[in-house]
Structure formats: structure tokens, C-alpha cells
Chains A and B, each alone.
Chain A
């Protein structure tokens, strides 16, 4: 699987937008970009995924660079409940449903 690089940690203020970056310079044409997050003492949960175009859902937005070598997960208004580890994962469409988790970014939200 192609590798992703994320900052170890980030801080945000409550009710402000948060931009979580992910670099994936070796991404291949069939790799989807997935984001999961893991709240304290819980299992990971799916956030969003995309291939080429920007994506929006009720939880977040995913902005994908035109060359697909990087992406950004956007939380429009951070809440204290958004404090979690956020994982950016590349998954080839022909790889079944297997996910390879890296270290992720620990997001801390200050009141």
C-alpha cells in the first residue's frame, strides 16, 4: 500500500474550522483516500472517502489536490467531541476492504 504522512498532533479552538493535512505522494490511480477517526476508548469510525473530486458529508469535507498527492480533511466547526486521532489511509479499489492504519494525527480541541 502507498504510504501517507500526517502530523503527529494538532490543536484547535472549539467552534473554529480545522484542516487536517495528509501527504500521499506515491498514490496510484486506483487508490481511494479514506479518513477514519478514533475517539478515546472507542474503535475507529469512518469519516469520509474520495477518489479525485472533493467530497462533503455530514461529518466533514475532503479536499483532494489536483495531482492527488495530498488531501485535507476539513472539520467546519470543531467541537470538544471531535478530539480524536484522525487516520488518513490509501486503499486500492482492488484490495478488497483491507485498511492499513498509520500513526494518524491526534487532534486536541481547546474550549
Chain B
């Protein structure tokens, strides 16, 4: 299995531009997670999907952030408009089942907003 796939791996954009991050979970997994990691705040859960339905989006920082999961094999995290404070590494993770199961993380997308 290829693992969790994220694209792009690096993104540099200017303030005010729209940014779309993409994630392909591991086939057969029914839970998908978006995290953000910064030096100041560490690793934070942004949103969590189960069976393509958003379960908990309390970590989404503000309305500029939105996430979708149109099917079991694809999810997007969109920032519109982007701001310099959105600069971070964004990780996508997937897992199977409900309960104490391990999560598999992708390699992350490093976002820089200038």
C-alpha cells in the first residue's frame, strides 16, 4: 500500500490567495483527519471525518478554513483567503474502525504564506 498521499508537498503562496491541500487516505480506511503543526502550537487536530461525514470540526481555526470529503478516497482542505499565520505543516491521517485504532499519517504539506 502506498500509504496516505498528500499533495502538494510544498506550497508557497501570497497572502490573500486561495490554497487547496489534497489527501488520499489508505484504501479501506473510513476515518480521515486533518492536523496542523507549528512550532508555537504543536500538532493540532483541525477536523475529523468518519465515513465521509464531518464528525468534529471544532479545531478549524476560522471561516477561512473549509474541508470536504466527497468520497472515501479523497479529501481537501481549503484556505481562502490565506494569511501569513496559516504557514504551517498540514498533515492528513487515516484510520479504520471506531475506537482505539492507530492512525496513519501522510508526509505533510508545508505551506508558506508570504
Q: B112 to nearest A CB, angstroms?
A: 15
Residues of A within 8 A of B44 (CB): 101
B32-55: CB near A (< 8 Å → 1, else 0) gives 010100000011110010100001
* Given A32-B100, A43-B91, A91-B100, also A97-B31 (CB < 8 A): yes
The size of the chain A interface, using a CB distance under 8 A, is 24
> Which of A45, A97, A99, A103 is close to B42, meaning CB atoms less than 8 Å apart?
A103
A93 with B99: CB separation less than 8 A = yes
Residues of A within 8 A of B98 (CB): 96-97
> Which of B50, B91, B93, B108 is close to A96, meaning CB atoms less than 8 Å apart?
B50
> Which of A44, A93, A103 is close to B100, meaning CB atoms less than 8 Å apart?
A93
B25 within 8 Å of A (CB atoms): no
Range of interface residues on B (Cβ < 8 Å)? 20 to 34
Residues of B within 8 A of A46 (CB): 102-104
Question: Chain A interface mostly helix, strand, loop or mixed?
Answer: loop
Residues of A within 8 A of B33 (CB): 97-99
Residues of A within 8 A of B55 (CB): 96
B31 with A96: CB separation less than 8 A = yes
Which residues of A76-99 have CB atoms within 8 Å of chain B's CB atoms?
A: 87, 91, 93-94, 96-99
A34 within 8 Å of B (CB atoms): yes
Residues of B within 8 A of A43 (CB): 4, 91, 93, 105-108
Sort A-B residue pairs by CB-CB distance and give the 3 closest, nearest first: A43-B105, A46-B102, A101-B43
Task: Write the residues of chain A forming the contact surface with B, with a CB cutoff of 8 angstroms.
Answer: 32, 34, 36, 38, 42-46, 49, 51, 87, 91, 93-94, 96-104
Q: List 26 A-B contacts (CB under 8 A).
A: A32-B100, A34-B102, A42-B107, A43-B91, A43-B93, A44-B93, A44-B105, A45-B104, A46-B102, A46-B103, A49-B100, A51-B100, A93-B99, A94-B99, A96-B31, A96-B50, A96-B98, A96-B99, A97-B101, A97-B103, A98-B33, A98-B45, A98-B48, A99-B103, A101-B44, A102-B42
